[in-house]
Amino acid sequence: MKNELHVVGIQADLIWENPAENLKFFEDKIKNLSASTDLVILPEMFTTGFTMQPKNVAESMNGLSITWMKKIANEYDIAITGSLVIEDGNQFYNRLVFIQPSGKIDVYDKRHSFTLAGEHKVYSSGTDRIIIDFKGWKICPLICYDLRFPVWARNTENYDILIYMANWPVTRIKAWRTLLKARAIENMSYTIGVNRTGLDANNYQYSGSSLIVDYLGETLSNLDENEVGIISAVLKKDHQNKVRNKLGFLKDKDSFTINK
């Protein structure tokens, strides 16, 4: 088990439906990261932007972007995660992929489709939440609109890190910041939100505001609005466990089941 985990989130102005150029941008950022980096988090639909035209860009699990993620994980000895458009079994998914240096792959299909944009009409929703074990840390990865549904994120597994990757528009950015801190506080978990910047092909504006907060809701790293760059922090498991044990809030949580 590794007590300290160095995490990085990359905030980008995504190029619309252009995987090759987006992958080039992210690789240029990754190759300049500290050698101590353990985990790199990319935004939602990091290869294309939040497109509702999956037929134009969908890849398989053996496609260009997954192959690139495997290469990056191996070459730089890091775990890398982001969501992208995947076609699987004649259905399209907004799929989060988490690849470890060993080549181990975990996937999570976005549970809560963003109906305001019609995501539910073109993408199939997932039914299962996952907990990833990486270097002794338990990680719960979720996607964008999932942030608005606290029951789905409830820390029933005693996870250590909660991740949200997003294309969250500037018009509702206050909710983004507020809900990320709320999820961190209620789950007593390090929480990381990685958003995009820029203007997409549908004229939706994104301001980024990516951030890392600790288990008490204190900001560890953040980016100014519209800035392209990285957030970075060293997370300390013993500190988190000490506070959890002292306060005991998770021991008093409610028991419940979720209908899939």
The series of mean pLDDT values per 10 residues for the chain, 260 residues long, is 95 98 98 97 98 97 98 98 97 98 98 96 97 98 98 96 98 97 98 98 96 98 93 98 97 86
Q: How many CB atoms lie within 10 A of CB 32?
A: 8
Do residues 240 and 206 touch, judged by C-beta distance below 8 A?
no
- Delimit the domains of the chain by residue range: 4-252
Q: Residue 62: its pLDDT value, please?
A: 97
Q: Residue 257: its pLDDT value, please?
A: 87
Q: How many CB atoms lie within 10 A of CB 158?
A: 13
Do residues 7 and 41 touch, judged by C-beta distance below 8 A?
yes
Encoding tokens for residue 145? Answer: 């609109």
Q: In 3-state terms, what secondary structure has residue 9?
A: strand
What is the value of pTM for the model shown?
Answer: 0.97
Tell me the pLDDT tens digit for each residue of 75-130.
999 999 999 999 999 999 999 999 999 999 999 999 999 999 999 999 999 999 99
- What is the distance between the alpha carbons of residues 32 and 155, in angstroms, rounded to a whole number? 34
CATH class for the domain made up of 4-252: alpha beta
Catalytic machinery residues: 44, 110, 144
Q: Residue 70: its pLDDT value, please?
A: 98
- What is the distance between the alpha carbons of residues 5 and 89, in angstroms, rounded to a whole number? 36
Q: Residue 114: its pLDDT value, please?
A: 96
Q: How far is CA 195 from the centre of its chain?
A: 9
Q: Residue 259: its pLDDT value, please?
A: 82
- What is the distance between the alpha carbons of residues 88 and 50, in angstroms, rounded to a whole number? 18
Q: Residue 133: its pLDDT value, please?
A: 98
- What is the distance between the alpha carbons of residues 193 and 2, in angstroms, rounded to a whole number? 22
Detail the DSSP E strand segments found in the chain: 4-11, 39-41, 79-88, 91-99, 105-109, 132-134, 137-143, 161-165, 190-194, 197-199, 205-207, 211-213, 219-222, 229-236
